[in-house]
Structure 1
Amino acid sequence: MAPSYVKCVHLIVEVELQVKDHVATVISTLNYQNKEDKPIEALFVFPLPGDAAVCHFSADIGQTHIVAELKEKQQAREEYDDALSSGQQAFLLEESEQSPDIFSLSVGSLPPGESASIRLQYVIELAVEADGALRFCLPAVLNPRYQPQGSEGPGVPVSSVPASEIPYSLSFSARVSSPRPVSKVESSCSLEPLQYLNTDHTEAAVKLAAGHKFDRDVELLIYYKDAHQPSAVVEAGQDSAKPGTLMGDPVVMVSLYPEFPESVMSKRTSCGEFVFLLDRSGSMRCSTSNWNQQETCISSARDTLLLLLKSLPMGCYFNIYGFGSRYDQIFPKSVEYNEKSMEEALKKVKVMQADLGGTEILQPLQHIYSQPCISNQPRQLFVFTDGEVGNTKEVLDLVRKNAGSHRCFSFGIGEGASSALINGLAQEGRGHAQFITGSDRMQAKVMQSLKFALQPVVKDISVTWDLPKRVSATVLSPPITTIFQGQRSLIYAQLCGKVLDKKDRQTRNHLKVCQLETQSRFIEARKKSEGNQHKDMKRKVVKLSVQSGVSSHHTAFIAVNKDNGDAVQGPLVRRNVPTPGEVGEGKDCICKGFTFFFFCYDPLNLQAPLIRGGSAVPEQPRRDPLLQLVSLQKASGCWLLDAALASVLGKTSEEVEKSKTAEVWATILALIWLHGFKMEAKDEWELLAVKAASWVQAQNAPCVKDCVAAANALLCCRVKKKALKL
């Protein structure tokens, strides 16, 4: 049976983004039109950021404006069904039972030719990228999520078809304001020129260029000047709310994004247990982006593991897991990192394929956590996945229970990766999340996270509030226990007591804040509503959700048009409105047994891999000179002087042969080549270069200065010895 999407509904999407420092408010307007000759119920399942706080939902039908109410989820569903059965028009917006980054919108009893305009508003904190940019992502792609057998709840009905088959159009505009000047705004999509709205460049506006096809996520990278300076933003309480309550009192948001001295950051730990958990499900065979069809997610992951293994410090411990419908591991338990174990691991990494079936991450995580921790070797878990997981909440509950024994760094690969899963893993595991989309190189982002894992941590943090008399601050956020270089922390606090008028100069100067209409309270209300799912907490969660106007796992928005006159006549036909998904190569969908309907144009994933001699033919490795050079490095950090090294450097064996100490000379040659020809990829090789420089220093060779000069001459470079950290 084919899915009943037809071209029954025309959908125009208008998105207005308002960025206030580190918080974004997103206002989406979805305009539906029923083009059929019968009344329909349109079901639209779509992605939202997993930590978004949905705080407004309304609908316009003709001249009638309806503002939705938040109610307990089952009550809202019953009211929606009752309205439809009586011929009334109704709208229901609710979060998925399994994952907070999937929402379903039901548009009921839409008569033939009728139009409806839906307005949805949510607030979200913006993540900080490795280069200091704030990242906003408007998700367009919702890949079908794999629901393991026996997991809680039914799967989410996701309909996805090629963008060319969907009558979608998108209008997108953004306005940015901050206490700091806005230096630039970049995007993976074409933008119109950035417009500054004032002379000090603290306000700016930008629009998506005309002609954009809503077939991939829209990503914005926002750069501020003086990004590492702490800032604070205050929001007044609501006049209609009672003083002393969360909604009635002012709240303040403090942003901390410190930059530590190089003398501190150059000290890196030499211990740790590094566990790499790699998604090897069928969907990892898809290409990493629309622009590079040759590079697949699994091939990029293999290259990344090569860099990771070469960058680990001697004496640490490591292991590599692959997961799909089943999981495997390279070693029975984590082993000490040395030349032998590294080479054994690399041999297995080279032949890794996306051949393990569905996306079941829960069992390998349970196995990893069952392994005893190694004394004086803090566990660091790196998770690589395209995020097509249906049992997200079960996974995050498990990570939360084990957060005291490890840190978790997560990487969402490709369009449509679940933000709830990727961000949730990092938040619950006290680590860092990265998304690899478009033309991003996985290697650079992963190596940045390895730097976080190896860098010293700032502990014993305390916050002191300097407030006017009779004013106190109640911190709403969890306490900050650690701060890392390159990671941003936000602190929310409720200001209690006699707060002076927000226009009063003394208060404004004393708090040193910029009065912006942020909605940080919504984010905190959302956070308070998540987590504890016990029955005795449900009532409190529902009460807080309704009071704050922020949806939660236990509530849903319901809007009923009670003023539409005559009841809608005729049988109601249900239509699934597909997302403009990029469901192409390698998605896990049909082979994973979904029980709902969706289109999946997936010729590559439905075909078995070419078999010769009883095994799948591995993909041909790409001849990337950087990766070739990295592959030749030893675990200790040095290179050998041989023909393979000469070939990567573009020289003959005779040209590189010198009477100097062979391994020292070879290692300095490699370092000069990296600094001279691959500075644009420094984030990828910086750690292994530090290890190489440390090895050279440990040799106490008297010829280092001469080797640097000779290597520069041979390779036609001008790299100074100081730059090599020798």
Structure 2
Amino acid sequence: MSIISRNTAGAGPRGWSHRLAFFLTFICLVLLLLAGLARHAWADTAAAPVPAGLVTLNDIESGALLFNTKEPGKYVPAPLLATDVKIDVSGPIARARVTQRFINPGDSWVEGKYIFPLPEDSAVDTLKMVIGERVIEGRIKEKQEARQIYEEAKAAGKKASLVEQQRPNVFTNSVANIGPGETIVVQIEYQQTAHREGDTFSLRFPMVVAPRYTPKEADPRFVDFTPGESGWGEVLPPEPKDTLEQPPVLHPEAGKVNPVSLKVSLDAGFPLGEVKSPHHDVTIGRGGKNAATIALKKELVPADKDFELTWKPAAAKAPTAALFRERVGNEDYLLIMLTPPSGDVQPEAKPREAVFVIDNSGSMSGPSMDQAKESLLWALDRLKPGDTFNVIRFDDTLTVLFPDAVPAHGENLAVAKKFVKSLEANGGTEMLPALRAALTDRQSHGTDRVRQVVFLTDGAITNERELFSEITTNLGRSRLFTVGIGSAPNSYFMTRASEAGRGTFTHIGNEQQVVERMSELFEKLGSPVMTNITATWPDGLTTESWPNPVPDLYKGEPVVLSARMPQAKGTLILRGDVAGEPWEVRMAVGKGEARAGIGKLWARRKIEQLEADARIAGNWEENDASILKVALEHHLVSRLTSLVAVDVTPSRPDGEKLTAKDMPVNLPEGWDYDKVFGEQAVSPMQRAALQKGSAQYAAVLAAPAPTTSRVASMALPQTSTDASALIHSGIIALLLSIALGALWWLQRHWAASAWARRSR
């Protein structure tokens, strides 16, 4: 066959393959062009079905906390929060600065609300809002007026912050008009005193508001009959409740939020011995004999349990007296601490009737239940043969173990221990019926026994006022000792309940503290009480001191007085009785060391006293005017006053919608989410999205307040990507490459076959 004839013979297959390749390439190019047009069309119209600020789980490229919306599958990125705490302790006085950074990771304007705890005796007096280089000072206003100022600023697009008190230990910080990718820094400052127990000083900083149970009850209403209306009356609306706004609680499976950094500068005023933190790992740097610097070993920790710091003197005994004063205007304010002797001769202790109440509701599940049971078992072992006792357990039901107090002998104790060991945490926290049962005294006029009620609970309730009323009304000869259990107890309720019950408050935060703290409690129960304490101030000086009257004291407790007088001069005389012996101390009040903030502490103590008087007498309106006057005069946040800070320049553009979101909090360490809220699963996709960027967000939150350029460089959720169109384009390109590869293989195979035929 000639060369011309061979080439002509092979033209058919080769021409067919070239035409097929050209046809497939043309089809793929057309499909790519159509996909590109669809991609641009999707990008132009994608914003319509997804409102600004909403994301889907597929959009999340780094860790983010998401809130549900009304649109299925759409979420809004929650504002983020980080807290930095600096506490300066000088002698028994502490000044704290709490810096909260509110970060908006989304692309919409938001209002963040954070419900957070502070010590129950804190005098909150300062609010600062930092915007860029500007610092805006907060002003103290009556609560309703402050709220109105804040709402008007929010509506006008101005940045604003509002700090309100819900309880003496629960506050709310609302921050309005946080722009997309923006950070607003809010600083809150307060004053408090360190707690003293014997030779041990302590300070607590609570980090999380635990979920609290609200009892279910009917709202009582009253009927008003007007004379002359022929017997017809009108049902009045229910009285406003003392409600507690609670934050959303994040499921533990979703990871931890709200990182906290904390540092304490301690100057004890005497040579320091042991310094430790029972619940957190810390680093301790000594700064001479009297001073130390304490910081968290981990730079950031989640806000899920209270921080506690304790310190002791290097000597065998701590100083027994302290006197500080401050001159404000034309008046002197005094803070006096004095530890009386416990008595050299201990009288023979009376036998006791001990009533132990243990909370086994759902909030006590986990380590808290173990701590409560171990504490109660320890207490049962310390009862003496002449004592009588009973055990009451409660959740949303109630069990009184014995019909009445029984002798503390082997058989009764064995029954009680078996009962305690069998307890499991579940259900709601209906505390009032248990309290009523504990205070029911069948021998109310008896004098041969000391009646002591020991109440073990985390205090996770909202009806504190109702419980206080029950204590003050039906206490009788009983004394109430509260034992706070767990990582975040309601210390306000526990402290005030013990004060109203003429007892003490003990906190047990972990199992290692059970023996130590219960031993201290039982030493108090078995030691004489200092009674009939009176304070006689210098003649001719109008002096207002708190608390008034001075309460009874147990072993190791100091007398703590706050006073105001025109001029600090003369001699204060303190008298009391301990173990049947008279006790008297004289102190020159003009020799106190000058210290800032004493006036704030006096004002806080007066407000506490007025609130306590109102609880006892029920005359809230009568005391409210005095509380309001003191709080405004001393620039303090209270039940009736708030701090508000407002920027003068609007920042949110007209027409931009503002989304209000409550900042979520962690579940307290050791709590069981399902026991408190029921079984609520977090979807695997959302859990992965939350956990993926926890370290990244922690680093961002720990950093100083970022500028606009820094925020812009963060890896934030994207809310308008064209992922679907890109995927389609990629699939078409992949098919085109497969088709061309197949044609290339066919061409090679045809060429090899043709060469073989020519060789033959």
Q: 1:307 to 1:191 in 2, by over 3 A?
A: closer
Cα distance between partner residues in 2 of 1:579 and 1:180: 39
Instruction: Tell me the amino acid that sits aligned with residue 307 of structure 2.
Output: V
Quote the Cα distance in structure 1 between the aligned partners of 2:676 and 2:379.
34
Which deviations, in whole Å up to 9, do the C-alpha atoms of 1:584-613 show, x marking residues without a partner? 6425775489xxxxx8989xxxxxxxxxxx
Q: 1:521 to 1:310 in 2, by over 3 A?
A: same
Q: 2:265 aligns with which of 156, 175, 178?
A: 175
Encode CA deviations 1:333-352: one digit per residue, 9 max, x unaligned: 22343344333323322322
**TM-superposed deviation, 1:278:** 0.4
Aligned to 2:187: 119
Kindly indicate whether residue 283 of structure 2 is the aligned counterpart of residue 204 of structure 1.
no
Q: Tell me if structure 1 keeps the 8 A contact 2:113–2:172.
A: yes
Partner of 1:649: none
Cα displacement (A) at 1:570: 0.9
What is the match of residue 339 of structure 2?
257
Partner residue of 1:651?
none
Q: Superposition pairs for residues 203-602 of structure 1, below 5 Å?
A: 203-214=291-302, 215-225=304-314, 227-238=317-328, 241=329, 243=330, 249-261=331-343, 263-265=344-346, 267=347, 269-287=349-367, 297-355=368-426, 357-372=427-442, 373=444, 375-376=446-447, 377-403=449-475, 405-438=477-510, 440-463=512-535, 473-497=543-567, 511-519=590-598, 520-531=601-612, 532=614, 534-564=620-650, 569-582=655-668, 585-587=671-673, 591=677
| 2:205 maps to 1:138 | yes
The equivalent residue for 1:191 is 282
For the 8 Å contact 1:159–1:577, the answer to whether it is kept is: yes
Q: How does 1:616-655 map to 2 (within 5 A)?
A: none
SS at 2:512 equivalent: coil
Would the aligned equivalents of 2:547 and 2:606 in 1 still touch at CA under 8 Å? no
Change (3 A) 1:125 1:108: same
Per the TM alignment, residue 436 of structure 1 is displaced from its structure 2 partner at its CA by 1.2
SS at match of 1:538: helix
Instruction: Evaluate the alpha carbon distance shift between residue 107 and residue 524 of structure 1 in structure 2; reply closer, same or farther with a 3 A threshold.
Output: same
CA contact (8 A) 1:327 1:364 kept: yes
Q: Distance in 1 between matches of 2:678 and 2:435?
A: 20
* TM-score (normalised: structure 2): 0.68
Tell me if the contact between 1:403 and 1:430 (Cα under 8 Å) persists in the aligned partners.
Answer: no
Contact 1:410 1:425 in 2 (8 A): yes
Q: Is the partner of 1:405 in helix, strand or coil? A: coil
Between 1 and 2, higher relative CO (CA 8 Å, sep ≥ 6) is seen in 2
Counterpart CA distance in 2 for 1:145 and 1:586 is 14
Deviation at 1:473, TM superposition (A): 4.7
Question: Could you state the TM-score of these two structures normalised by the residue count of structure 1?
Answer: 0.71
Deviations 1:649-701 (A, max 9, x none): xxxxxxxxxxxxxxxxxxxxxxxxxxxxxxxxxxxxxxxxxxxxxxxxxxxxx
Give the Å deviation of 1:524: 2.0
Aligned in 2, Cα 1:209/1:340: closer, same or farther, shift over 3 Å?
Answer: closer
Q: CA deviation at 1:213?
A: 1.5
CA–CA distance in 2 between the matches of 1:445 and 1:485? 14
1:55: Cα distance to partner? Answer: 1.6
Q: 1:39 to 1:349 in 2, by over 3 A?
A: same
Indicate conservation of the 8 Å contact 1:146/1:589, yes or no.
no
| Paired residues of 2:342 and 2:556 also in contact (CA < 8 A) | no
CA–CA distance in 2 between the matches of 1:380 and 1:25?
36
- Distance in 1 between residues matched to 2:373 and 2:348, nearest whole Å: 25
SS of the residue corresponding to residue 280 of structure 2 reads coil
In the aligned structure 2, how far is the partner of 1:202 from the partner of 1:444? 26
| Shift in CA distance, 568/62, structure 1 to aligned 2, threshold 3 Å | farther
Q: Does 1:157 align with 2:246?
A: yes
Query: Any conservation in 1 of the 2:117–2:169 contact (CA below 8 Å)?
Result: yes
What is the DSSP-based 3-state SS (H/G/I as helix, E as strand, rest coil) of the residue aligned with 1:250? strand
Contact 2:208 2:305 in 1 (8 A): yes
When the two structures are aligned, how many residues end up with a matched partner?
Answer: 563
Shift of 1:475: 2.5
Structure 1 residue 24: Cα displacement: 1.8
Contact 2:257 / 2:665 at 8 angstroms: preserved in 1? no
CA distance in 2, matches of 1:318, 1:570: 65
d(CA) in 2 for partners of 1:118 and 1:213? 20
Q: Deviation at 1:490? A: 0.8
2:248 alignment partner, SS class: coil
Q: How far did residue 38 of structure 1 move?
A: 0.9
User: Comparing 406-415 with 81-90, which one deviates more in the overlay?
Assistant: 81-90
Question: Distance between the aligned counterparts of 2:501 and 2:129, measured in 1?
Answer: 39
Aligned-residue offset at 1:172: 1.8
CA deviation string 1:541-597 (max 9, x = no partner): 21221111112112222222223467564111112212244366425775489xxxx
Query: In the superposition, relative to structure 1, how do residues 153 and 321 fare at CA in structure 2: closer, same or farther (>3 Å)?
Result: same
CA deviations over 1:490-540 (Å, ceiling 9, x no partner): 11222324769xxxxxxx998443333243324324424523262233222
Q: In structure 2, what is the equivalent of residue 636 of structure 1?
A: none
Alpha-carbon distance in 1 for matches of 2:412, 2:257: 54
The percentage of aligned residue pairs carrying the same residue is 23
Structure 2 residue ranges without an equivalent (≥5): 1-65, 70-74, 220-240, 571-586, 684-760
Structure 2: which amino acid aligns with 1:136? L
Q: Does the 8 Å CA contact 2:262/2:295 hold for their aligned counterparts?
A: yes
The secondary structure found in structure 1 opposite 2:604 is helix
Q: 1:529·1:545 contact (CA, 8 Å) conserved in 2?
A: no
Shifted more, 362-371 versus 112-121: the winner is 362-371
Give secondary structure in 1 for the equivalent of 2:284: coil
Write the distance in 2 (CA, Å) between the matches of 1:601 and 1:398: 41
Rounded Cα–Cα distance in structure 2 between residues aligned with 1:583 and 1:474: 42
Instruction: Tell me the equivalent position of 2:129.
Output: 59
State which drifts further: 134-143 or 532-541: 532-541
- Find the structure with the greater CA-based Rg: 2
